[in-house]
Structure 1
Amino acid sequence: MFRIFDLSLLLNGFPIEKAKKELREILALSEQEHALFIENKKQEIVTFHLENNSFYQELVGIKTFKNWNDLPILNKKNLQKPLLERFSKGYSSKNSYINKTSGSSGEPFVFAKDKYSHALTWASNIYRFSWYGIDFNTSFQARFYGIPLDFLGNKKERVKDFLSNRYRFSIFNLSDPALEVMLKEFEKKKFDYINGYTSSIVLFAKFLQKKNIILSDICPTLKVCIVTSEMLFEEDKILLEKQFGIPIVNEYGASELDLIAFQNTEQQWQVNAETLFVEIIDENDQPVPYGVSGRIVITSLFNKAHPFIRYDIGDIGILDEKSTLQKPILKKLLGRTNDFAVLPSGKKTPGLTFYYITKSIIEDDGNVKEFVIKQTKLDLFEIEYVSEKELNLEQINKIKQAIDLYLEPDLKFKFTRKRILDRSNRGKLKQFKSLL
């Protein structure tokens, strides 16, 4: 069979077969061998960057290291300088994979991966998607993602879609007529799986619910739906399972790194322990025990073009108590570090708390399609929402009572009904944002 996806990677200089072979070897290691592999790779990648990367040498301040936990935490602000200043010796834009982060954290930057490291990223993706019978060379993807709107960027993305065997739905227009057009494509095309931003896919499911349609009835070739980039709430997962009639899989990744965690067939969020080393750390930058929440810090074990060592991705999470070094399990992703609200009492609370409270109430009747919450003052929160009809006083009072109960009294709320919500230039929906 003609393997166009693998061939396109090879033609772009990504040695995918070599990467697949190494990944198979890593997966075959015993638990003791894997522990040794992780320690060796950590030592190797730090030593490489201390010897070959002036940006990392300056950050660490020493040429050799003894204790892993003494290494500095790399953050996004450190990386907001020209890429040319961050390359390792022997690497440049000519022999590396270059991209930029989405900026959903508010701190975008350009990054580099050496070509072998990027090939391993694809090998890791291919392996995890295969858990659900998906083959990147043959399976047809319904893709719910943003797309560049400029002519050249748009055409480039369409070519990549063709080579990757996927059909892209633009998520910048999610009106009912646009969703109707998407539905028609599912009637015509034999899609194997859905992949894309959570909020857009959930909106499509709500549209199907309103029309009383199960997607797998009109597109019986569908096997699985994989959501990414935004938080998936349990109620939304239940809705997706019901309206799509297929398993729903939660993916957590970062373009500058790799797939970080992917829901396995046992419904566990299995962390990538083959190409990454994932730590959860406290406010003193020290690792916490399994079961304790903290900042998610990640080391890319293979990327020689650019250091991502003890890199603070900006998220808060918990590794399950059942985790092992070879099979870490992400128990919970609690949101981004900058998604916390500071209340007048001094209490600090995850922005998702507001989202859970308001979501459970205003979605009772299916009227509200989407909403976002912004903290504009210490005691003032603005809720922007898209709905068929305006929220009534009873619904607003219910939300206020719930917030008094779960958070603290005397917080003020402003509700604004909108036709569409502002998304990032990539189509992501940021569900909570503090403007303080």
Structure 2
Amino acid sequence: MSGFPMKEAHTAFDRILAIPEEDYQQYIERQRKQITDFHLKNNAFYQELVGKNVFQNWEDLPVLTKKDLQQPLAERLSEGYAPKSVFVNKTSGSSGDPFVFAKDKEAHALTWASIIHRFGWYGIDFNKSYQARFYGIPLDFIGYRKERLKDFLGQRYRFPIFDLSDVFLEKVLKHFRSKKFDYINGYTSSIVLFAKFLQKKNIHLKDICPTLKVCMVTSEMLFEEDKLLMEMQFGIPIVNEYGASELDLIAFQNPKGEWQVNSETLFLEILDENNRPVPNGQEGRIVITSLYNKAHPFIRYDIGDVGILDERSTPKKPILKKLIGRTNDVALLPSGKKSPGLTFYYVTKSIIEDDGNVKEFIIRQTKIDTFEIDYVSEKELTPEQIKGIQQAIDQYLEPGLRFAYNRKKTLERTLRGKLKQFQSEL
């Protein structure tokens, strides 16, 4: 209806899938050279960034950051493309650097061909399968109605996630009793809360909604114990996806449990602090090239995450061994030590959630030695729990850090409903 060439995109995507492993490195090199040459010739913004209109060595190209893209979209579009002729959207801003981006319609159709292919691994057909969607939604009248219409056309029923009280989750449960959902898709933290609600009521979702096949979680970190809880309460496979709205699905858990990187429409590099590739098995910054977006350059684009590629990776099947977190989610400690914010989350999570009292929590660094934990729970944390958390932090991080605990009715989420689990306010 919107003019995206899906039929052609599926044909093109199938052609890429058919490229044999031995020819795949050549395909990647050819495609990344073609897209870079196109932007060096047709995109003034990218020409200025590179400083010339030709390149010899891939690793000499600059690494593009989100701050580079925080300027009017019209100044970043390639020649022959205008805001009205392309797909335009904006990032969520969960990284702290939101911006508006664009894709040409062919590239965006290819993105959807990629998504449809991966969901197909689990028997999900976008034209027929009914989705239970745990997402945010615009609250203005027109925006709200527009999303509901899109959900109707897209075979989805949306549960807005701004209110995750037991009263609301009871209403969600009623929908699962009465609707034949094929799969669940949405933000990790919201779906985890639903699983905890089911656990408390001793309900297994597959028993009341037998049509369910799979659950895909996205946008937030998935912890192993949360995955096990969801598998237990839902009775279906839990699939972890990693993507970015400005790019595509970056990695998607395949039926073997591997986090398979999208090598069809993207080229992923792991770089060190000098922008040089690190060997597979070593951690570094995740930098991605969109191989088909002609409207807007995403060439060697630093997405703001840190990760590790598996040693078994091949050009056709790269495997993301570990996603460590965002580069800006780092705590600076009095000793000078830098620690990923998720370290705090892991330490406190294991202690706080032992008895199921705490539903969810976030950690904020307010000073170099001071942190605040905002949490939602049925009862206040006990002095013993707080002491246990402090001891674990002394052991895993360093002694002398001060923590304040704030019990809340709800936690603050982004406008899209995401929960940012660690926030540094330094």
Shorter-chain TM range is: over 0.9
- 2:103 is the counterpart of 1:130: no
| Aligned twin of 2:168 | 178
Aligned partner letter, 2:59? N
Distance between the aligned counterparts of 2:379 and 2:78, measured in 1?
A: 56
CA contact (8 A) 1:225 1:249 kept: yes
Distance between the aligned counterparts of 1:300 and 1:118, measured in 2?
A: 11
Aligned partner letter, 2:419? L
1:235-246 matches, cutoff 5 A: 235-246=225-236
- 2:220 is the counterpart of 1:256: no
Distance between the aligned counterparts of 2:96 and 2:328, measured in 1?
A: 9
Q: Say how many residue pairs are matched.
A: 426
1:214-233 matches, cutoff 5 A: 214-233=204-223
Of 199, 202, 211, the residue aligned with 1:212 is 202
Distance between the aligned counterparts of 2:18 and 2:254, measured in 1?
A: 18
- 2:287 is the counterpart of 1:297: yes
Of 60, 63, 67, the residue aligned with 2:53 is 63
Distance between the aligned counterparts of 2:103 and 2:22, measured in 1?
A: 29
Q: Aligned with 1:327: secondary structure?
A: coil
Distance between the aligned counterparts of 1:284 and 1:110, measured in 2?
A: 28
Distance between the aligned counterparts of 2:53 and 2:236, measured in 1?
A: 52
- 2:83 is the counterpart of 1:110: no
Where does structure 1 differ by over 4 angstroms across 4 or more consecutive aligned residues? none
| Aligned twin of 1:318 | 308
Distance between the aligned counterparts of 2:304 and 2:145, measured in 1?
A: 32
193-202 or 36-45: bigger deviation: 36-45
CA contact (8 A) 1:26 1:34 kept: no
Distance between the aligned counterparts of 2:183 and 2:290, measured in 1?
A: 28
CA contact (8 A) 1:384 1:417 kept: yes
- 2:42 is the counterpart of 1:45: no
1:22-421 matches, cutoff 5 A: 22-421=12-411
Aligned partner letter, 2:230? L
Query: What residue ranges of structure 2 are gaps of 5+ in the alignment?
Result: none
Identity within the alignment, %: 72
Tell me by how many angstroms 1:129 deviates.
0.1
Tell me by how many angstroms 1:141 deviates.
0.1
CA contact (8 A) 1:87 1:306 kept: yes
Q: Aligned with 1:415: secondary structure?
A: strand
Tell me by how many angstroms 1:32 deviates.
2.3
- 2:416 is the counterpart of 1:423: no
Distance between the aligned counterparts of 1:245 and 1:59, measured in 2?
A: 50
| Aligned twin of 1:7 | none
296-305 or 147-156: bigger deviation: 147-156
Aligned partner letter, 2:244? A
| Aligned twin of 1:3 | none
Distance between the aligned counterparts of 1:67 and 1:435, measured in 2?
A: 39
Distance between the aligned counterparts of 2:240 and 2:355, measured in 1?
A: 26
Distance between the aligned counterparts of 1:51 and 1:143, measured in 2?
A: 42
Tell me by how many angstroms 1:74 deviates.
0.3
Aligned partner letter, 2:156? R
CA contact (8 A) 1:129 1:135 kept: yes
Distance between the aligned counterparts of 1:178 and 1:402, measured in 2?
A: 35
Distance between the aligned counterparts of 1:159 and 1:95, measured in 2?
A: 23
Query: What residue ranges of structure 1 are gaps of 5+ in the alignment?
Result: 1-10
Tell me by how many angstroms 1:345 deviates.
0.3
CA contact (8 A) 1:144 1:201 kept: yes
140-149 or 90-99: bigger deviation: 90-99
Distance between the aligned counterparts of 1:254 and 1:79, measured in 2?
A: 15
Distance between the aligned counterparts of 1:325 and 1:346, measured in 2?
A: 38
Tell me by how many angstroms 1:225 deviates.
0.2
Tell me by how many angstroms 1:183 deviates.
0.2
CA contact (8 A) 1:98 1:112 kept: yes
Q: Aligned with 1:390: secondary structure?
A: coil
| Aligned twin of 1:4 | none
Q: Aligned with 2:221: secondary structure?
A: coil
Distance between the aligned counterparts of 2:283 and 2:146, measured in 1?
A: 41
Distance between the aligned counterparts of 1:245 and 1:42, measured in 2?
A: 42
Distance between the aligned counterparts of 2:339 and 2:309, measured in 1?
A: 20
Tell me by how many angstroms 1:283 deviates.
0.2
TM-score (norm 2): 1.00
Distance between the aligned counterparts of 2:100 and 2:144, measured in 1?
A: 20
After superposition, what is the alpha-carbon deviation per residue over 1:380-401, rounded to whole angstroms, capped at 9, x for unaligned? Answer: 0100000000001000000000
Distance between the aligned counterparts of 1:250 and 1:92, measured in 2?
A: 35
Distance between the aligned counterparts of 2:359 and 2:132, measured in 1?
A: 22
TM-score (norm 1): 0.97
CA contact (8 A) 1:88 1:305 kept: yes
After superposition, what is the alpha-carbon deviation per residue over 1:228-267, rounded to whole angstroms, capped at 9, x for unaligned? Answer: 0000000000000000000000000000000000000000
